[in-house]
């Protein structure tokens, strides 16, 4: 059994402790179908106990947009909530950038983003939040896998400088000496590297480049953000598009959520300087993000992550997905449904289903704050 298969089995085995209060962040979902778009995502989850979802006057339809990373989780939540409350929810998963823009323009009452709101986005939200502003509610998290497809190479180790050079077009062949030095036992081919990045504004891009900036600033001379800044490489829309390109291209590498690993796509283990290279998994992400702190103020619960961890067994390339809505001034026609749906997502039953679909819940202290904040939304 290879390393990747062991890691996936360990992810699944942790579903039973989904609400243990341990920060167990695992990979995120599909852009398109809610079933991993054919690249390894989980398609279903157990329904909550009858009567456990409180509808509280929810009715009608909700249109939302944003992070593709949480799409599988949203799909599972929508299925259960819609069956219980009769509310139709359409989550487009067009990417974090699209979701935040739609929210600040007043087109949707709630958005998903893999990065917290920037100051200028908070300011823009005040125009649509009557007497209030947009806030960040951390709901889901996971490691960002570096997926690759190189025939004959089942285990691959890379470090931050090598990753930066690959995605910046400075390392262009799989038998480059820098890659060889990290993989002495691998048979690396004389094959061109095909590096794929997101074409759309993406919180996954933001978090991946934050990792490169924090760990190897000399090799990643960019300011970062949701828009890909490095020159060269190839692009594809949303996580599903990048994963599909990696899957069908020998020599390809890209970044996306762990649920896309498998079916021809393998995950890189990261040499962080710890005793052993670390593969993306629930357990390894837990160790990296256990020291996350709340950086937001007031009702805002944005988290500060540690991308430069060197703790043994800690996987450093992680993200947290936020649900973004107004703290005050929500539209009266959508407020009951949005509030009820967010309440279900943050509930014990809502968080419990995440372990079975390649996600994991937020830690007990964080999700407790999220629940309290949701109840104050008006």
CATH number, domain at 73? 3.40.190.10
**Predicted local distance difference test score (pLDDT) of residue 375:** 97
Residue 100 resides in a domain: yes
- Is residue 124 one of the residues assigned to a domain? yes
Residue 368 φ then ψ, to 5°: -65, -40
The answer to whether 261 touches 40, Cβ cutoff 8 Å, is: yes
For residue 81, being part of any structural domain is answered with yes
Q: What is the pTM of this model?
A: 0.72
Report helix, strand or coil for 53.
coil
Note down pLDDT in tens along the chain; length 378 residues: 444 444 444 433 333 333 333 333 333 333 333 333 334 444 445 566 556 899 998 999 999 999 988 998 999 999 999 999 999 999 999 989 999 999 999 999 999 998 899 999 999 999 999 999 999 999 988 889 999 999 999 999 999 999 999 999 999 999 999 999 999 999 999 999 999 999 998 888 999 999 999 999 999 999 999 999 998 899 999 889 999 999 999 999 999 988 889 889 999 999 999 999 999 987 787 677 777 788 999 999 999 888 988 889 989 998 889 999 999 999 999 999 999 999 999 999 999 888 777 776 787 888 999 999 999 999
- State residue 335's pLDDT score: 97
Name residue 266's beta-bridge partners.
Answer: 148
Burial 364-374 (b: 16+ CB within 10 A, else e): eebbebbbebb
Q: For 226-281, give the DSSP string.
A: SS--SSSSEEESHHHHHHHHHHHSTTEEEEEEGGG-BTTBEEPEEE-SSSS-B---
Give the closest residue to 8 by CA, choosing from 129, 145, 131, 164. Answer: 145
Q: Tell me if 135 is assigned to some domain.
A: yes
pLDDT of amino acid 220: 98
Question: Which residues are 144's β-sheet partners?
Answer: 257
CA dist., res. 138 & res. 318, Å (int): 13
Which structural domain range is residue 93 located in? 27-141+327-376
Contact assessment for residue 328 and residue 132, using Cβ atoms and an 8 Å cutoff? yes
- The pLDDT assigned to 155 comes to 96
* pLDDT at residue 23, as a whole number: 33
Residue 75 lies inside a defined structural domain of this protein: yes
d(CA 360, CA 346): 12
Count CA atoms closer than 13 A to 341's CA, side-chain side.
36
Other Cβ atoms closer than 10 A to 55:
17
- What CA–CA distance (Å, rounded) separates 16 from 290? 19
Strands 303-304 and 293-294: antiparallel
Evaluate whether residue 110 is within a structural domain.
yes
**CA 342 to mean position of chain CA atoms:** 18
Residue 306 is predicted with a pLDDT of 86
- Number of structural domains (the chain) is 1
The whole-number pLDDT of residue 142 equals 81
CA distance 217 to 300: 29
Residue 134: inside a domain, yes or no?
yes
* Cα–Cα separations (whole angstroms), residue 37 to 168, 176, 254, 318: 28, 32, 16, 21
- Interacting residues of 312 by C-beta distance below 8 A, sequence separation 6+: 274, 275, 276, 287
Report the 10 Å Cβ neighbour count for 290: 16
Evaluate whether residue 341 is within a structural domain.
yes
């Amino acid at each position: 059994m290879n390393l990747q298969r062991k890691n996936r089995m360990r992810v699944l085995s942790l579903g039973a402790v989904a609400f243990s209060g341990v920060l167990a962040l695992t990979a995120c979902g599909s852009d398109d179908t809610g079933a991993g778009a054919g690249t390894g995502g989980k398609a279903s989850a157990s329904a909550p106990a009858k009567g456990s979802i409180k509808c509280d006057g929810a009715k009608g339809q909700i249109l939302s947009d944003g992070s593709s990373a949480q799409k599988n989780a949203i799909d599972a939540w929508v299925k259960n909530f819609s069956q219980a409350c009769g509310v139709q929810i359409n989550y487009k998963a067009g990417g974090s950038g699209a979701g935040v823009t739609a929210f600040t323009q007043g087109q949707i009452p709630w958005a998903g983003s893999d990065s917290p709101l920037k100051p200028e986005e908070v300011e823009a939200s005040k125009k649509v939040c009557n007497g209030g502003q947009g806030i960040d509610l951390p709901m889901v998290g996971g490691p960002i896998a570096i997926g690759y497809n190189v025939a004959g190479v089942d285990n691959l180790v890379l470090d931050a400088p090598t990753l930066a050079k690959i995605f910046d077009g400075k390392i262009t062949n799989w038998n480059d000496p820098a890659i060889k030095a990290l993989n002495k036992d691998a048979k690396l081919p004389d094959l061109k590297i095909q590096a794929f990045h997101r074409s759309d504004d993406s919180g996954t891009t933001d978090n991946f480049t934050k990792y490169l900036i924090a760990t190897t600033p000399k090799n990643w001379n960019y300011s970062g953000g949701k828009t890909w800044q490095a020159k060269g490489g190839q692009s594809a829309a949303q996580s599903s598009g990048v994963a599909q390109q990696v899957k069908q291209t020998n020599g390809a590498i890209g970044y996306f959520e762990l649920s896309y690993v498998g079916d021809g796509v393998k995950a890189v283990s990261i040499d962080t300087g710890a005793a052993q290279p670390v593969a993306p998994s629930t357990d390894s992400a837990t160790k990296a993000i256990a020291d996350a702190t709340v950086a937001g103020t007031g009702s805002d619960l944005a988290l500060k992550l540690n991308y430069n961890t060197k703790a043994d067994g800690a996987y450093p390339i992680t993200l947290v997905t936020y649900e973004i809505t107004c703290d005050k001034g929500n539209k009266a026609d959508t407020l009951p449904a949005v509030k009820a749906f967010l309440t279900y997502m943050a509930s014990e039953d809502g968080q419990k289903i995440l372990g079975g679909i390649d996600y994991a819940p937020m830690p007990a202290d964080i999700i407790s704050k999220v629940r309290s904040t949701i109840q104050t939304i008006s």
